[in-house]
Structure 1
């Protein structure tokens, strides 16, 4: 689930989705703004459609490994 396997495509792995999220965090965004940015960025590729629950799983993973911060209703890339 976190890493791609022979049964889980690379574009569905939580680590890959997390990378896509981090690439969109050039400034602070709310969850809904970030969701829209990631969906728009993914539309042009051949990736599998990203569901909101998979997006939230990736956000939770990024927060757990201290890659992102959440404060005052916005998400930012961690500076640690």
Structure 2
């Protein structure tokens, strides 16, 4: 589920979808904007495996757990690799 398996195509694994989200998150976006941007990106790059909204949310949860995105003032923000997570130790 997080990584590709026999039942999860590489382009649908949570890490792959998370990486795709990060590629499209070049500025703060609402969750709806990020979802729309991801769907457009996947169409443009030939990723035809369906990714429902709940899978997108699981990928966001994975990114948050890894400390690479934050939700600030109702927008998703990609964190810099060198930034310390506020409130996380």
RMSD: 0.9
User: How far off is 1:7 after superposition?
Assistant: 2.2
Using structure 1 for the length normalisation, give the TM-score. 0.94
Q: How many residues align?
A: 80
Q: Is it true that 1:15 corresponds to 2:15 in the alignment?
A: yes
Q: Distance in 1 between matches of 2:53 and 2:7?
A: 21
Structure 1: gaps spanning 5 or more residues:
none
Distance 1:11 1:42 in 2: 9
Partner of 1:32: 32
Larger Rg: 2
For 1:66 and 1:15, the matched residues in 2 are separated by 13
- Gapped regions of structure 2 (runs ≥ 5): 84-89
CA distance in structure 1 between the aligned counterparts of 2:48 and 2:14, rounded to whole angstroms: 13
The equivalent of 1:65 in structure 2 is 66
Structure 2-normalised TM-score?
0.85
